[in-house]
């Protein structure tokens, strides 16, 4: 696998969008980049969380918007309302001659693999899926992967320190579906918490849903009733319900994917995945001729591909410095082999 270094730390600003099809802002850019003598056209297919998930899908969309504004590409977004729309949406964009088609999320892996083999001249990007795991391993696909376990470790370390300061010994996580990227976050969270406070209890549950806030809220409320002082949401739009539960019950919440501190003072921090920058760099690689299908690009702490968002000002500086020291140990390799799976 090859690693692409991120160019800069990104300030994440969230916008709400709606509708089944979105022409991306910036498509009229005059800074047009040419690909084979024509304007590069890039399509994006959301998962069922759509663009108003305040996280994963919005970040991918922002990456496309940045490519329009900074690279002058033409972009188009198709929002999926069900899993059944993944293949038709990818096929539609490929049939219309889009040069690059991007799928957002683990659930789109098989759809991308199927359509990519039908359109070998198009380039496909799949976020959160290992290209080598796709059926047929199509050579015109690149996977964008993240070292979620690394930032999960930092979130867990901070959560355990915070709980201990509050005289509590239970924290928790709420996953959406039990999928590899979700479990990498959670496995790292559990390991980091145990490293900071070995005696801490870490609860975990899955909502089996990405969109229904009530389902994640129910899981979180159950965990809080069992003594959880901090709830880490790893469930996309559904996970906003877990953060609502934390706010209502007067405990801490931890956001995911985007910096979700804007949701309220109950957000201790967020485990950020810089999906927007990864999407931008994937598009840029097509323009500058460095694209190589048939593999993955991997983003971790060392290249700012993942990291903690804003940490609550209520956290003592001593704990912030302790977490930063742990981050440096992960980057240097002094902390290695962080778990990536949850039993």
Token digits of residue 203: 């609860």
Residues (pLDDT < 70) of the chain are: 1-38
Helices (H), the chain: 56-71, 86-95, 109-118, 148-165, 180-196, 213-225, 240-249, 275-287, 317-332
How far from 275 is each of 63, 102, 224, 256, 258, CA to CA, in Å?
Answer: 7, 12, 30, 12, 9
Domains observed in the chain = 21-146+274-303 (3.40.50.2300), 148-273+313-332 (3.40.50.2300)
How far apart, in whole angstroms, are the C-alpha atoms of residue 305 and residue 333?
Answer: 16
**Spatial separation of the C-alpha atoms in residues 295 and 269, rounded to whole Å:** 32
- pLDDT for res 214: 98
Q: Output the pLDDT for position 180.
A: 94
Quick one: pLDDT at residue 27?
31
Distance CA 303, CA 8 (A): 9
User: What is the per-residue pLDDT across 163-220, written as a single tens digit (0 to 9) for each?
Assistant: 999 999 999 999 999 999 999 999 999 999 999 999 999 999 999 998 899 999 999 9
């Amino acid at each position: 696998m090859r690693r692409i270094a991120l160019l800069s730390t990104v300030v994440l600003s969230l916008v709400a969008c709606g509708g089944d099809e979105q022409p991306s802002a910036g498509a009229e850019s005059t800074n047009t980049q040419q690909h084979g003598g024509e304007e590069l056209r890039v399509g994006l297919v959301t998962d069922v969380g759509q663009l108003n998930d305040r996280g994963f899908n919005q970040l991918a969309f922002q990456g496309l918007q940045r490519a329009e504004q900074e690279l002058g590409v033409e972009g188009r977004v198709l929002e999926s309302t069900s899993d059944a729309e993944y293949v038709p949406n990818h096929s539609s964009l490929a049939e219309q001659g889009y040069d690059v088609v991007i799928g957002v999320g683990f659930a789109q892996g098989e759809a991308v693999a199927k359509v990519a083999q039908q359109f070998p001249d198009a380039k496909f990007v799949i976020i959160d899926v290992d290209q080598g795991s796709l059926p047929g391993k199509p050579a015109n696909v690149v996977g964008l992967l993240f070292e979620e376990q690394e930032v999960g470790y930092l979130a867990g370390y901070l959560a355990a320190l915070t709980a201990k300061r509050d005289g509590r010994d239970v924290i928790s996580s709420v996953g959406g579906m039990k999928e590899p990227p979700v479990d990498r976050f959670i496995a790292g969270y559990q390991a980091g918490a145990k490293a900071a406070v070995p005696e801490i209890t870490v609860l975990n549950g899955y909502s089996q849903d990405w969109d229904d806030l009530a389902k994640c809220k129910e899981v979180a409320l159950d965990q809080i009733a069992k003594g959880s002082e901090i709830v880490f949401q790893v469930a996309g739009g559904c996970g906003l319900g877990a953060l609502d539960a934390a706010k209502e019950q007067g405990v801490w919440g931890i956001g995911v994917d985007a910096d979700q501190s804007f949701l309220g003072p109950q957000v201790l921090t967020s485990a950020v995945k810089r999906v927007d920058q990864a999407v931008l760099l994937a598009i840029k690689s097509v323009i500058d001729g460095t694209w190589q299908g048939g593999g993955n690009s991997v983003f971790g702490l060392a290249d700012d591909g993942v990291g903690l968002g804003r940490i609550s000002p209520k956290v003592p500086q001593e704990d912030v410095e302790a977490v930063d020291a742990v981050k440096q140990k992960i980057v240097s390799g002094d902390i290695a082999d962080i778990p990536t799976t949850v039993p």
